[in-house]
A and B are shown apart, each in its own frame.
Chain A
């Protein structure tokens, strides 16, 4: 299993630990995702999909169990190492694009490189322009997020997630707020990038139509994996 990009073993997550309202949201998840795999994460609302994705994306720490990314056990990593790993290896697409309103589309896409290398450079700009071109937004490169439509914003967010050519793409309902046509476009973009770079993708979606177009579907019910096919 050396080509597993992520590997979860008995992973749990509880909120408000140590208080009377302590609730366990994830109850021992075992899951692995191989390089190049394109998987959908589905399940009813409140089943813990976002929580699971955030933990895999190193935005939150699990309460128990093991999480390895690229073969490294994340429990052993320091805060700084976690931050670096998150920046370099993971591209995250949020449900609500979460672009920086003060920066243009181009600058938003450049931002992961700016953070990783400390300052903007020509390479970051060239890559960002290329990605904006790939998502069909080259003409809008200098617009602020507020000047773009919802679908355009989400496409910028995808371009940003791809900026450092991460080994793993995590997308939390990236098409949740978009019409079917736009959603299909966004989905196709992710799929194409997955084919091009052989990165692993885990995409949360409520849309069975989209889930059916994935290599694999992971179903989460009440914090447990129900089926994996």
Chain B
């Protein structure tokens, strides 16, 4: 049983094999181009995902807060001509927060809801006195907002009674070790003696210095917010859905709802700029690869003129000649993208071995998404086809005699 290719692929393969050097050249060009595109895309996508991951590692995707005081007053009494002035900062609770939490948890895309009571306090030990943020939480629920257990350097992330969890900077500043005592004092005059049951390092000095986690009831009583919470923290399944979910929640509850995308607008803009420049680079590379394929195919068409004339003289139609060259372009593109993806994979492996984070872990993982390879193959094959079109049409248009004579 012989494998018999139809006319166009048969001739295309022979032509490619005959023009060995040229074929190798275009293949090398396509391989390089595809490798650059795949490598860059993979690298930037991974680094961006890591940046987002790092930023979101310490903050909730969506936060629900009480309405701004001033707005509420103006709204309640439209006839009032009272001067609206910012009130002295006073903690307020999210109205009927249990209901709001239930509503949020039921919203599609929301994966976790955690109530938090937070307010300013002072951590005092001996003569030292530090300004901190008291965070009343349910440790079990909060863990699903910020993966605190991953950041613990001593003890566990658990609060109970007067047991608290503090950051490594605060511990250092006040000379506190695990199981040591720590007094917190509040502007309203209340104070409490806490016992440190865990120390975390979240990778952010400011937060390591400020956050003091206690139980929800303790924070409520210290901050004069009995039964209330100052905000609800949410985690969502797809981080880029956060804004849409925040808007939906705002519509449903009438409360202030912010997503990480609003609070990190600058980061988001930077990521977008990076994506734009990545796309720009990719477009240029695609253009250069296309020009490369096209120019080598043009040369090949000129060199093959006589053979094209002979084929035409034997009855090959213009469409058949066109096919021969289009197949050459597509083949080069397809094979080049396979080699290119392999090369990109090699490069990613090499770079991930060379460039490492401060802690020695790889800066990015050397992995290749199949989606990218398929995409690269499609793009390269398309580019091959498109860039073969011009020389192919030229070849097909020629008169047989004219072609043979040249």
* Interface of A toward B, CB cutoff 8 Å: 54, 57, 59-60, 79-80, 83-84, 86-88, 92, 94, 98-103, 111-112, 114-116, 118-121, 160
Q: A98-B310, A100-B310, A103-B14 are in contact. Are A115 and B400 (CB under 8 A)?
A: no
Closest 7 CB pairs of A and B: A87-B315, A102-B14, A119-B6, A102-B18, A59-B401, A59-B400, A120-B4
Contact bitstring B1-15, A, C-beta under 8 A = 1, else 0: 000111100100011
Choose from B7, B18, B318 the contact partner of A118 (Cβ within 8 Å): B7
- B6 x A118 contact (CB < 8 A): yes
Contact bitstring B303-329, A, C-beta under 8 A = 1, else 0: 000110111111111101000000000
Q: A54-B401, A59-B400, A94-B404 are in contact. Are A86 and B7 (CB under 8 A)?
A: no
**Chain B residue total in the interface (Cβ 8 A):** 26
Q: Would you call B147 an interface residue if the criterion is a C-beta within 8 Å of the partner chain's C-beta atoms? A: no
User: Given the complex of chains A and B, what is the CA–CA distance between A59 and B312 in angstroms?
Assistant: 8
B320 — nearest CB in chain A belongs to which residue?
A115
Q: Would you call B367 an interface residue if the criterion is a C-beta within 8 Å of the partner chain's C-beta atoms? A: no
- A120 x B15 contact (CB < 8 A): no
- A98 x B315 contact (CB < 8 A): no
Q: Would you call B17 an interface residue if the criterion is a C-beta within 8 Å of the partner chain's C-beta atoms? A: yes
How far apart are B80's CB and chain A's nearest CB, in angstroms? 86
- A101 x B6 contact (CB < 8 A): no
Q: Give chain B residues whose Cβ lies under 8 Å from the Cβ of A86.
A: 313-315
- A114 x B7 contact (CB < 8 A): yes
Q: Give chain B residues whose Cβ lies under 8 Å from the Cβ of A120.
A: 4-5, 10
Q: Give chain A residues whose Cβ lies under 8 Å from the Cβ of B306.
A: 98
- A114 x B399 contact (CB < 8 A): no
How far apart are A216's CB and chain B's nearest CB, in angstroms? 25
Choose from B7, B310, B400 the contact partner of A119 (Cβ within 8 Å): B7
User: Given the complex of chains A and B, what is the CA–CA distance between A84 and B404 in angstroms?
Assistant: 19
User: Given the complex of chains A and B, what is the CA–CA distance between A94 and B314 in angstroms?
Assistant: 12
A164 — nearest CB in chain B belongs to which residue?
B315
Q: Give chain A residues whose Cβ lies under 8 Å from the Cβ of B401.
A: 54, 59-60
- B10 x A83 contact (CB < 8 A): no
User: What 19 new A-B contacts, CB under 8 Å, besides A112-B314, A119-B7, A160-B314?
Assistant: A59-B313, A59-B399, A59-B400, A60-B400, A79-B318, A83-B316, A83-B317, A83-B318, A84-B315, A84-B317, A86-B313, A86-B315, A98-B306, A98-B404, A100-B14, A102-B14, A102-B18, A103-B14, A115-B320
The interface centre, meaning the residue of A59, A116, A118 with most chain B CB atoms within 10 A of its CB, is A59
Q: A54-B401, A86-B315, A102-B17 are in contact. Are A115 and B7 (CB under 8 A)?
A: yes
B6 — nearest CB in chain A belongs to which residue?
A119
- A116 x B4 contact (CB < 8 A): no
- B14 x A92 contact (CB < 8 A): no
How far apart are A36's CB and chain B's nearest CB, in angstroms? 23
Choose from A84, A100, A116, A119 the contact partner of B307 (Cβ within 8 Å): A100
- B312 x A83 contact (CB < 8 A): yes
B14 — nearest CB in chain A belongs to which residue?
A102
Q: Give chain A residues whose Cβ lies under 8 Å from the Cβ of B399.
A: 59-60
- B315 x A119 contact (CB < 8 A): no
A99 — nearest CB in chain B belongs to which residue?
B310
A54 — nearest CB in chain B belongs to which residue?
B401
Q: Give chain A residues whose Cβ lies under 8 Å from the Cβ of B6.
A: 118-119
User: Given the complex of chains A and B, what is the CA–CA distance between A120 and B10 in angstroms?
Assistant: 9
Choose from B15, B313, B317 the contact partner of A57 (Cβ within 8 Å): B313
Q: Give chain B residues whose Cβ lies under 8 Å from the Cβ of A57.
A: 313
How far apart are A118's CB and chain B's nearest CB, in angstroms? 6
Q: Give chain A residues whose Cβ lies under 8 Å from the Cβ of B316.
A: 83, 87, 115
User: Given the complex of chains A and B, what is the CA–CA distance between A84 and B320 in angstroms?
Assistant: 12
User: Given the complex of chains A and B, what is the CA–CA distance between A194 and B189 in angstroms?
Assistant: 121
* A-B contact list, 15 entries, CB within 8 Å: A57-B313, A59-B313, A60-B400, A83-B318, A84-B317, A86-B313, A86-B314, A98-B306, A98-B313, A100-B14, A100-B310, A102-B15, A102-B17, A115-B314, A115-B315
